[in-house]
Amino acid sequence: MDIIQSIIIAVVEGLTEFIPVSSTGHMIITSKLLNVPDNEFTKMFTIAIQLGAILAVVVLYWKKFFDFKNIQFYLKLLVGVIPALLLGFLLSDKIDELLESTTTVAIALLAGGIILLFIDKMFKTPTVHTEKEISFGKSFTIGIWQCLAMVPGVSRSAASIIGGMQQKLTRSAAAEFSFFLAVPTMLAATGYKLLKHYKETGGFTGEEIKLLAIGNVVAFAVALVAIKFFIGFLTKHGFRIWGIYRIIVGILLLILIKSGYLAA
Protein backbone atom coordinates (compact mmCIF):
# COMPACT_ATOMS: atom_id res chain seq x y z
CA MET A 1 0.00 0.00 0.00
CA ASP A 2 1.31 3.44 -0.92
CA ILE A 3 0.34 6.90 0.37
CA ILE A 4 -2.11 7.65 -2.44
CA GLN A 5 -3.90 4.34 -1.89
CA SER A 6 -4.09 4.96 1.86
CA ILE A 7 -5.59 8.43 1.29
CA ILE A 8 -8.22 7.14 -1.15
CA ILE A 9 -9.23 4.33 1.23
CA ALA A 10 -9.38 6.80 4.13
CA VAL A 11 -11.64 9.17 2.15
CA VAL A 12 -13.97 6.23 1.44
CA GLU A 13 -13.96 5.39 5.16
CA GLY A 14 -14.77 8.94 6.23
CA LEU A 15 -17.62 9.20 3.72
CA THR A 16 -19.21 5.84 4.47
CA GLU A 17 -18.67 5.23 8.20
CA PHE A 18 -21.85 7.03 9.23
CA ILE A 19 -24.19 6.07 6.42
CA PRO A 20 -25.82 2.62 6.27
CA VAL A 21 -23.79 1.26 3.37
CA SER A 22 -20.89 -0.50 5.20
CA SER A 23 -17.62 1.39 5.38
CA THR A 24 -15.67 -1.88 5.76
CA GLY A 25 -17.33 -3.32 2.68
CA HIS A 26 -16.55 -0.21 0.66
CA MET A 27 -12.92 -0.21 1.81
CA ILE A 28 -12.55 -3.88 0.84
CA ILE A 29 -13.96 -3.10 -2.62
CA THR A 30 -11.77 0.01 -2.97
CA SER A 31 -8.65 -1.93 -1.94
CA LYS A 32 -9.31 -4.59 -4.55
CA LEU A 33 -10.02 -2.02 -7.28
CA LEU A 34 -6.75 -0.27 -6.40
CA ASN A 35 -4.90 -3.61 -6.39
CA VAL A 36 -3.77 -3.10 -2.82
CA PRO A 37 -2.01 -6.25 -1.54
CA ASP A 38 -4.43 -8.44 0.41
CA ASN A 39 -2.21 -8.93 3.47
CA GLU A 40 -2.50 -8.64 7.24
CA PHE A 41 -1.50 -4.97 7.27
CA THR A 42 -4.25 -4.08 4.79
CA LYS A 43 -6.86 -5.84 6.93
CA MET A 44 -5.57 -4.08 10.05
CA PHE A 45 -5.46 -0.72 8.23
CA THR A 46 -9.14 -0.91 7.21
CA ILE A 47 -10.08 -1.47 10.87
CA ALA A 48 -7.64 0.98 12.45
CA ILE A 49 -8.54 4.03 10.35
CA GLN A 50 -12.17 3.66 11.38
CA LEU A 51 -11.05 5.00 14.75
CA GLY A 52 -10.00 8.25 13.04
CA ALA A 53 -13.48 8.66 11.59
CA ILE A 54 -15.12 7.74 14.88
CA LEU A 55 -13.10 10.34 16.79
CA ALA A 56 -14.88 12.97 14.72
CA VAL A 57 -17.93 12.08 16.82
CA VAL A 58 -16.03 12.97 20.00
CA VAL A 59 -15.12 16.37 18.55
CA LEU A 60 -18.61 17.19 17.28
CA TYR A 61 -20.30 15.96 20.46
CA TRP A 62 -17.56 16.96 22.89
CA LYS A 63 -20.02 18.39 25.41
CA LYS A 64 -21.65 14.98 25.66
CA PHE A 65 -18.42 13.00 25.91
CA PHE A 66 -16.77 15.30 28.44
CA ASP A 67 -19.76 15.81 30.70
CA PHE A 68 -18.27 13.78 33.54
CA LYS A 69 -21.31 14.41 35.73
CA ASN A 70 -23.41 12.30 33.38
CA ILE A 71 -22.07 8.94 34.53
CA GLN A 72 -25.05 7.09 33.09
CA PHE A 73 -24.00 8.09 29.56
CA TYR A 74 -20.66 6.28 29.97
CA LEU A 75 -22.32 3.29 31.62
CA LYS A 76 -24.79 2.97 28.73
CA LEU A 77 -21.90 2.89 26.25
CA LEU A 78 -20.10 0.32 28.37
CA VAL A 79 -23.18 -1.90 28.47
CA GLY A 80 -23.77 -1.42 24.75
CA VAL A 81 -20.25 -2.40 23.75
CA ILE A 82 -20.14 -5.66 25.76
CA PRO A 83 -21.71 -7.86 23.00
CA ALA A 84 -19.21 -6.63 20.40
CA LEU A 85 -16.26 -7.15 22.76
CA LEU A 86 -17.27 -10.73 23.50
CA LEU A 87 -18.14 -11.80 19.95
CA GLY A 88 -15.26 -9.85 18.43
CA PHE A 89 -12.78 -11.70 20.65
CA LEU A 90 -14.36 -15.11 20.09
CA LEU A 91 -14.79 -14.74 16.32
CA SER A 92 -11.70 -12.70 15.45
CA ASP A 93 -10.18 -15.26 13.05
CA LYS A 94 -13.51 -15.87 11.28
CA ILE A 95 -14.03 -12.13 10.86
CA ASP A 96 -10.55 -11.84 9.30
CA GLU A 97 -11.50 -14.56 6.80
CA LEU A 98 -14.66 -12.68 5.82
CA LEU A 99 -12.62 -9.52 5.20
CA GLU A 100 -11.10 -11.31 2.21
CA SER A 101 -14.43 -12.10 0.58
CA THR A 102 -15.85 -9.69 -1.99
CA THR A 103 -18.77 -12.07 -2.49
CA THR A 104 -19.73 -11.74 1.18
CA VAL A 105 -19.70 -7.95 0.84
CA ALA A 106 -21.84 -8.05 -2.32
CA ILE A 107 -24.46 -10.38 -0.84
CA ALA A 108 -24.61 -8.44 2.44
CA LEU A 109 -25.00 -5.13 0.59
CA LEU A 110 -27.78 -6.56 -1.56
CA ALA A 111 -29.67 -8.22 1.30
CA GLY A 112 -29.28 -5.19 3.55
CA GLY A 113 -30.49 -2.92 0.76
CA ILE A 114 -33.71 -4.88 0.41
CA ILE A 115 -34.29 -4.57 4.16
CA LEU A 116 -33.66 -0.82 4.12
CA LEU A 117 -36.37 -0.35 1.48
CA PHE A 118 -38.99 -1.27 4.06
CA ILE A 119 -37.41 -0.37 7.40
CA ASP A 120 -39.00 3.09 7.69
CA LYS A 121 -42.48 1.56 7.52
CA MET A 122 -41.71 -1.01 10.20
CA PHE A 123 -41.03 1.40 13.07
CA LYS A 124 -43.58 4.20 12.93
CA THR A 125 -44.27 4.91 16.60
CA PRO A 126 -41.01 5.89 18.35
CA THR A 127 -41.22 6.91 21.99
CA VAL A 128 -37.54 7.58 22.80
CA HIS A 129 -36.29 10.95 21.58
CA THR A 130 -33.03 11.56 23.45
CA GLU A 131 -30.07 9.62 24.82
CA LYS A 132 -31.19 10.26 28.40
CA GLU A 133 -34.38 8.25 27.74
CA ILE A 134 -32.41 5.18 26.61
CA SER A 135 -32.38 2.47 29.28
CA PHE A 136 -29.49 0.09 29.97
CA GLY A 137 -31.59 -2.74 28.55
CA LYS A 138 -32.08 -0.85 25.30
CA SER A 139 -28.35 -0.05 25.19
CA PHE A 140 -27.47 -3.74 25.50
CA THR A 141 -30.00 -4.75 22.84
CA ILE A 142 -28.68 -2.14 20.41
CA GLY A 143 -25.20 -3.51 21.12
CA ILE A 144 -26.38 -6.98 20.09
CA TRP A 145 -27.76 -5.56 16.84
CA GLN A 146 -24.42 -3.86 16.22
CA CYS A 147 -22.70 -7.26 16.20
CA LEU A 148 -24.37 -8.05 12.86
CA ALA A 149 -21.85 -5.66 11.31
CA MET A 150 -19.05 -8.14 11.98
CA VAL A 151 -20.07 -9.50 8.58
CA PRO A 152 -18.48 -7.06 6.08
CA GLY A 153 -21.13 -5.39 3.97
CA VAL A 154 -23.79 -5.29 6.69
CA SER A 155 -22.86 -1.80 8.03
CA ARG A 156 -22.31 -1.05 11.70
CA SER A 157 -24.33 2.16 11.51
CA ALA A 158 -27.24 0.43 9.74
CA ALA A 159 -27.34 -2.44 12.23
CA SER A 160 -27.17 -0.24 15.32
CA ILE A 161 -29.59 2.40 13.98
CA ILE A 162 -32.14 -0.26 13.05
CA GLY A 163 -31.58 -1.81 16.46
CA GLY A 164 -32.27 1.56 18.01
CA MET A 165 -35.46 2.04 16.02
CA GLN A 166 -36.57 -1.46 17.02
CA GLN A 167 -36.11 -0.27 20.60
CA LYS A 168 -38.49 2.66 19.94
CA LEU A 169 -35.83 5.34 19.32
CA THR A 170 -36.53 8.03 16.72
CA ARG A 171 -34.35 7.93 13.59
CA SER A 172 -32.23 10.86 14.75
CA ALA A 173 -31.86 9.51 18.31
CA ALA A 174 -30.94 6.06 16.96
CA ALA A 175 -28.37 7.59 14.61
CA GLU A 176 -26.76 9.68 17.35
CA PHE A 177 -26.60 6.75 19.78
CA SER A 178 -25.09 4.65 16.99
CA PHE A 179 -22.36 7.28 16.66
CA PHE A 180 -21.79 7.36 20.43
CA LEU A 181 -21.62 3.57 20.66
CA ALA A 182 -19.12 3.46 17.80
CA VAL A 183 -16.48 5.24 19.89
CA PRO A 184 -15.79 2.49 22.48
CA THR A 185 -16.50 -0.21 19.88
CA MET A 186 -13.90 1.02 17.39
CA LEU A 187 -11.46 2.00 20.13
CA ALA A 188 -11.51 -1.60 21.35
CA ALA A 189 -11.38 -3.08 17.82
CA THR A 190 -8.47 -0.85 16.78
CA GLY A 191 -6.54 -1.49 19.98
CA TYR A 192 -6.98 -5.24 19.57
CA LYS A 193 -5.89 -5.20 15.91
CA LEU A 194 -2.85 -3.02 16.61
CA LEU A 195 -1.77 -5.23 19.51
CA LYS A 196 -2.29 -8.40 17.48
CA HIS A 197 -0.27 -6.98 14.57
CA TYR A 198 2.50 -5.92 16.96
CA LYS A 199 2.71 -9.37 18.55
CA GLU A 200 2.67 -11.22 15.22
CA THR A 201 5.20 -9.01 13.41
CA GLY A 202 7.35 -7.75 16.27
CA GLY A 203 6.43 -4.11 15.69
CA PHE A 204 5.49 -1.54 13.09
CA THR A 205 7.76 -0.27 10.35
CA GLY A 206 8.18 3.47 9.81
CA GLU A 207 6.17 3.18 6.59
CA GLU A 208 3.31 1.40 8.33
CA ILE A 209 3.14 4.05 11.06
CA LYS A 210 3.10 6.78 8.40
CA LEU A 211 0.27 5.12 6.46
CA LEU A 212 -1.79 4.61 9.62
CA ALA A 213 -1.27 8.23 10.69
CA ILE A 214 -2.24 9.61 7.27
CA GLY A 215 -5.24 7.29 7.02
CA ASN A 216 -6.61 8.27 10.42
CA VAL A 217 -6.14 12.01 9.85
CA VAL A 218 -7.85 11.92 6.44
CA ALA A 219 -10.71 9.73 7.71
CA PHE A 220 -11.20 12.09 10.66
CA ALA A 221 -11.34 15.21 8.47
CA VAL A 222 -13.78 13.71 5.96
CA ALA A 223 -16.00 12.27 8.71
CA LEU A 224 -16.39 15.69 10.33
CA VAL A 225 -18.34 16.79 7.26
CA ALA A 226 -20.16 13.50 6.69
CA ILE A 227 -21.71 13.19 10.16
CA LYS A 228 -23.77 16.38 10.07
CA PHE A 229 -24.90 15.64 6.52
CA PHE A 230 -26.12 12.17 7.42
CA ILE A 231 -28.11 13.19 10.51
CA GLY A 232 -30.00 15.84 8.54
CA PHE A 233 -30.54 13.62 5.51
CA LEU A 234 -31.69 10.62 7.53
CA THR A 235 -34.15 12.68 9.54
CA LYS A 236 -35.75 14.08 6.39
CA HIS A 237 -35.56 11.18 3.94
CA GLY A 238 -35.14 7.94 5.87
CA PHE A 239 -33.39 4.79 4.64
CA ARG A 240 -34.98 4.07 1.27
CA ILE A 241 -32.39 5.84 -0.89
CA TRP A 242 -29.57 3.99 0.87
CA GLY A 243 -31.41 0.73 0.26
CA ILE A 244 -31.56 1.46 -3.47
CA TYR A 245 -27.86 2.39 -3.48
CA ARG A 246 -26.88 -0.83 -1.70
CA ILE A 247 -28.90 -2.97 -4.12
CA ILE A 248 -27.28 -1.32 -7.15
CA VAL A 249 -23.76 -1.68 -5.73
CA GLY A 250 -24.41 -5.27 -4.65
CA ILE A 251 -25.62 -6.26 -8.12
CA LEU A 252 -22.69 -4.50 -9.81
CA LEU A 253 -20.23 -6.29 -7.54
CA LEU A 254 -21.76 -9.69 -8.31
CA ILE A 255 -21.49 -8.91 -12.04
CA LEU A 256 -17.83 -7.86 -11.65
CA ILE A 257 -17.09 -11.01 -9.65
CA LYS A 258 -18.88 -13.23 -12.19
CA SER A 259 -16.98 -11.58 -15.07
CA GLY A 260 -13.66 -12.17 -13.29
CA TYR A 261 -12.85 -8.49 -12.88
CA LEU A 262 -12.93 -8.79 -9.09
CA ALA A 263 -11.71 -11.72 -7.05
CA ALA A 264 -14.44 -13.54 -5.18
Q: Is it the case that residue 252 has pLDDT exceeding 90?
A: yes
CB 65 within 8 A of CB 34: no
* Distance (Å, whole) CA 47 – CA 39: 13
| HSE-CB of 75 using CA atoms within 13 angstroms | 9
Residue 76 vs residue 150, higher pLDDT: 76
pLDDT of residue 140: 97
| pLDDT of residue 232 exceeding 90 | no
What is the mean pLDDT of the segment spanning 137-155? 93
How sure is the predictor about 200, in pLDDT bands with cuts at 50, 70 and 90? Answer: confident
Question: Measured at the alpha carbon of residue 131, what is the angle toward residues 125 and 137, in degrees to the nearest 5?
Answer: 75
Contacts 24+ apart (CB under 8 A), 231-236: 231/172, 231/175, 231/176, 234/161, 234/171, 234/172, 234/175, 235/171, 235/172
What average pLDDT score do residues 108-120 get? Answer: 91
Query: What per-residue confidence (pLDDT) applies to 228?
Result: 77
Measure the CA–CA gap between 30 and 152, rounded to whole angstroms: 13
Looking at residue 100, its pLDDT comes to: 74
- For residue 189, is pLDDT > 80? yes
Over its C-alpha atoms, the chain yields an Rg (Å, rounded) of: 18
Q: What is the mean pLDDT of the chain?
A: 89
Residues 192-218: what's their mean pLDDT?
90
- Amino acid letter, 53: A
Which has more pLDDT, 69 or 235?
A: 69
CB 222 within 8 A of CB 49: no
- Looking at residues 93-120, what average pLDDT do you find? 87
| 260: pLDDT strictly greater than 80 | yes
Report pLDDT for 245.
94
Percent of the chain with pLDDT over 90: 48
Answer for the pair 152, 90: CB distance below 8 angstroms, yes or no: no
Neighbouring C-alpha atoms within 13 Å toward the C-beta of 149? 33
Model confidence at 97: pLDDT above 90: no
Number of residues that this document lists for the chain: 264
